[in-house]
Amino acid sequence: MSDMKDTYPSSYVKTYRRGLDLVRSRYPRFFVHLVLVLLLMISIAAVGAAVPYLLRQTTNLLVEESGEAVVGMIYVFATAYAVGWTLSNMMEWGKNLASSYVMARCDAAVYSSVVRRLFRLPYQAQHRLDTGVVMADVNRAMSSFGLINHAIFWTIAPVVIQLCFVFGILWQVINLTFAAAFILAIVVLFVLTYRIADTTTRIHKNFYQTHTQLSEFLAERLRALYDIKINLAVGYEERTLDQHLRTYVHTVYGTHAKLSGLMGGQVLAVGLVLGGFTLYTVSETLRQRYQVGDFIMITTYVVQLTSPFVMIAAALIDLKKNYVALGDGLRYLDLPTEPKATADTLLDPQQPVFALRAVTLRSDDVTAAMPLNLEIKAGKMYGVRGPSGSGKSTLLRTLLGLEPQAAGEILFHGVSVRRLSPEAILGEVSVVPQAPLIFSGSLRENLLYAHPQPVPDQELLALVDLLDLGRIGGETSGEGVLDRNVGVQGRNLSGGEQQRVAIGRALLRGTRNMILDEPTAALDSVREIQLMQALRARVETLVVVSHREQVLALADEWIDIGPCNAPTLAEQGS
């Protein structure tokens, strides 16, 4: 993950444009909806700016000598004031509803794009990802683009627009000098607010790093709860947790202490502007240069436009924070996807399923000592044997194109694996991994995981019977077995049942070739032999990694892999 840091965009404009392109690719009507919400906000700003003016007119008419015509105008302006206030607040709720729709669509677009890229990363890149860090980055990035737009277009822009309306009204009602001074004071407040927000980027980066470390700690420990238990490590982990939480508390408190100091300075500046203009207006009203209605209007505008600056400061701080979060999420899009298969590559079924020519295996930048030369032909079962750590599982991943070999060439039905995508190979080869993942849900859903078309229950039940899965989860009856819940990540199943579900999933794909990595490690010897014999009868070509002698004895040929000697191919009886 360290190489990704270099791709983090240094420009806010660049980050926003990348996010915009991403959102528009999955939310084509984003601009249309953004403009409609912005027009609604302009309307709200216009109505909001008119409300103090209507109050001024009502007040000035009230303090004048009354006449029949004047009384009528008082009721007109008072009614207009009430209607304007009501309409402004109702439109505000409409704005919240419309903006939430746009933001939710933006969130979905960002989340979808990043997660889809993670799905399509090469295996090696996926293997290097830290689950806790990725989850923290993706969850923060999900809402960041929508929140950036909310801050710019739906928090800051309405205040600026309202400021323009207020400037025009003050110019007409008071004079240009007063209007210019009022606007200048507001602009100074805005610049001060921006400078405060500008100093928060590094603060939020440290804040996010602390959150990420906690997420990483929890994700790792949740995967290791059994190991923690059997190693009597609960006390040790609790002490480690306390250390992480002390760092978290210190960082969070320090972050908010710095933000509180900055926000306190900003509030003081707003108070000075508010007090200054209020006292000046009182003074001018007492000298009868302004009417009482002017005083009410000006002080209302002062409160109306200075009060939101606390909110604007928070929006600008969040803006910086969300730029950081968006950049952290977008950097995953800089990782390369799996290579596509070369066009017009035709597999030759007459050629061996796999042919290896002086292949040197590589895993995590460690290469095998000796090259490998062998052919895996259709219609046979091959047993891969060797001590732990010798590269058996690496061989399987290399055959599938998930890991590149350090040297040599691998052919799949006569075509170089380098010219094929892993997807193209996996379309012809089913795989049973050493530690299969069982998803939360029913047995049916797990057997049919990613299956392209429906499978009749009769066929599924025959498979359940073949794999002896009728009594999964400790049930005494096989009734309703397909809809039986397997628990969160298959926790209602034993290790052997999980392996058999994975085998059933692979069998349903119906490919002629199957690769299995320790498929019977959790099975008893009788069930192990029965299952392997059933696989031999149903799958044309099998490549099986195993430490079990009775499984390897079923193979037609063996691939021997040792840490210091060249892998060799041995036939039964040789």
What CATH number should be reported for the domain holding residue 95?
Answer: 1.20.1560.10
> Is the pLDDT at 566 greater than 50, yes or no?
no
Do 469 and 536 have their domain in common? Answer: yes
Do 411 and 323 have their domain in common? Answer: no
- Greatest mean pLDDT range, 88-97, 256-265, 370-379, 557-566: 370-379
pLDDT score, position 220: 78
Do 42 and 85 have their domain in common? Answer: yes
The mean pLDDT value for 329-333 works out to 91
How far is it, in rounded angstroms, from Cα 43 to Cα 102?
18
pLDDT score, position 202: 63
Domain contains 344: no
The residue out of 273, 301, 334 marking a domain boundary is 334
For residue 202, the enclosing domain spans 2-334
∠ Cα 567 569 573 (to 5°): 135
The mean pLDDT value for 536-554 works out to 94
How far is it, in rounded angstroms, from Cα 405 to Cα 279?
79
Domain contains 135: yes
Mean residue pLDDT of the chain comes to 83
Confidence of residue 153 (pLDDT cuts 50, 70, 90): confident
Amino acid at position 405, single letter: Q
> Is the pLDDT at 28 greater than 90, yes or no?
yes
Do 146 and 250 have their domain in common? Answer: yes
The residue out of 304, 334, 364 marking a domain boundary is 334
Residue reference for tokens 């090696």: 124
Do 307 and 419 have their domain in common? Answer: no
Do 314 and 168 have their domain in common? Answer: yes
Domain contains 348: no
Domain contains 139: yes
The mean pLDDT value for 557-574 works out to 61
Confidence of residue 62 (pLDDT cuts 50, 70, 90): confident
pLDDT score, position 308: 66
Does residue 66 or residue 276 have the better pLDDT?
A: 276
- pTM listed for this prediction: 0.73
**Residues 140, 143, 144, 147, CA torsion sign:** negative
Do 462 and 549 have their domain in common? Answer: yes
Determine which of 202-206, 248-252, 430-434, 438-442 has the lowest per-residue pLDDT on average: 202-206
| pLDDT tens digits, one per residue of 285-307 | 788 787 888 888 877 877 776 66
Please check whether residue 137 is in contact with residue 212, taking contact to mean a CB–CB distance below 8 angstroms: yes
> Is the pLDDT at 463 greater than 60, yes or no?
yes
> Is the pLDDT at 413 greater than 90, yes or no?
yes
> Is the pLDDT at 565 greater than 60, yes or no?
no
Q: What is the CATH number of the domain that holds 513?
A: 3.40.50.300
**Cβ atoms < 10 Å from Cβ of 456:** 8
Do 464 and 436 have their domain in common? Answer: yes
Confidence of residue 44 (pLDDT cuts 50, 70, 90): confident
The residue out of 334, 363, 393 marking a domain boundary is 334
Domain contains 517: yes
How far is it, in rounded angstroms, from Cα 281 to Cα 262?
29
pLDDT score, position 254: 83
Domain contains 340: no
Domain contains 513: yes
> Is the pLDDT at 11 greater than 80, yes or no?
no
Domain count across the chain: 2
Domain contains 345: no
Do 462 and 324 have their domain in common? Answer: no
pLDDT score, position 171: 86
Confidence of residue 464 (pLDDT cuts 50, 70, 90): very high
Please check whether residue 21 is in contact with residue 153, taking contact to mean a CB–CB distance below 8 angstroms: no
pLDDT score, position 533: 93
> Is the pLDDT at 411 greater than 80, yes or no?
yes
Strand 381-385's sheet: what is its strand order? 429-432, 513-517, 541-545, 381-385, 557-560, 568-571
Determine which of 22-31, 174-183, 325-334, 475-484 has the lowest per-residue pLDDT on average: 475-484
Amino acid at position 461, single letter: L
Do 213 and 243 have their domain in common? Answer: yes
Distances (CA, A) of 451 to 447, 488, 493, 501: 8, 21, 22, 14
pLDDT score, position 58: 83
Please check whether residue 510 is in contact with residue 482, taking contact to mean a CB–CB distance below 8 angstroms: no
> Is the pLDDT at 555 greater than 80, yes or no?
yes
Does residue 238 or residue 299 have the better pLDDT?
A: 238
> Is the pLDDT at 9 greater than 60, yes or no?
no
Do 56 and 132 have their domain in common? Answer: yes
pLDDT score, position 128: 87
Do 35 and 172 have their domain in common? Answer: yes
How far is it, in rounded angstroms, from Cα 437 to Cα 426?
17
